[in-house]
């Protein structure tokens, strides 16, 4: 092989390697950008999931709070009815007395292994038994 041919072959080989190296570098850089974008997407999805989860928790807490308040009001109404039937008072007097009684039951329930609602249910059952007797 002549010197010109050898030079040409070597030059062509280096140019090809240089071109390949640049292409591989470009592919590597693109892969890194893609990996960064995937990480950002994962972070965004995780934050979205947290927000959705938080909304669900807030909704459940709201439902629980509303449900609890509804039970408290139903208990007070039952107590008012029981008081009105047993002591022949006006509805307003029975409602006021029921509110006070519920507060006492709630304070007792804090110390006892029972709830104010359970205590009111027991009282209603006893009252119904007394009325029937």
Mean pLDDT of 20-36: 77
Neighbours of 45 (CB within 10 A): 10
Q: What is the pLDDT of residue 110?
A: 80
Convert the pLDDT of each residue in 43-59 to its tens digit.
888 888 777 777 787 77
Integer CA distances (angstroms), 106 to 60, 102, 109, 119, 129, in order:
24, 6, 5, 9, 23
Domain ranges of the chain: 3-132
Mean pLDDT of 67-88: 77
């Amino acid at each position: 092989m002549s010197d010109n041919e050898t030079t040409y072959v070597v030059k062509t080989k280096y140019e090809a390697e240089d071109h390949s190296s640049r292409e591989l570098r470009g592919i590597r850089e693109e892969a890194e950008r893609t990996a960064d974008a995937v990480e950002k997407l994962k972070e965004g999805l995780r934050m979205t999931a947290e927000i959705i989860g938080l909304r669900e928790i807030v909704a459940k807490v709201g439902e629980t709070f509303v449900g609890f308040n509804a039970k408290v009001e139903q208990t007070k109404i039952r107590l008012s009815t029981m008081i009105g039937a047993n002591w022949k008072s006006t509805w307003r007097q029975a409602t006021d007395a029921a509110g006070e009684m519920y507060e006492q039951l709630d304070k007792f329930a804090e110390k006892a292994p029972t709830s104010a609602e359970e205590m009111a249910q027991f009282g209603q059952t006893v009252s119904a038994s007394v009325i029937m007797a």
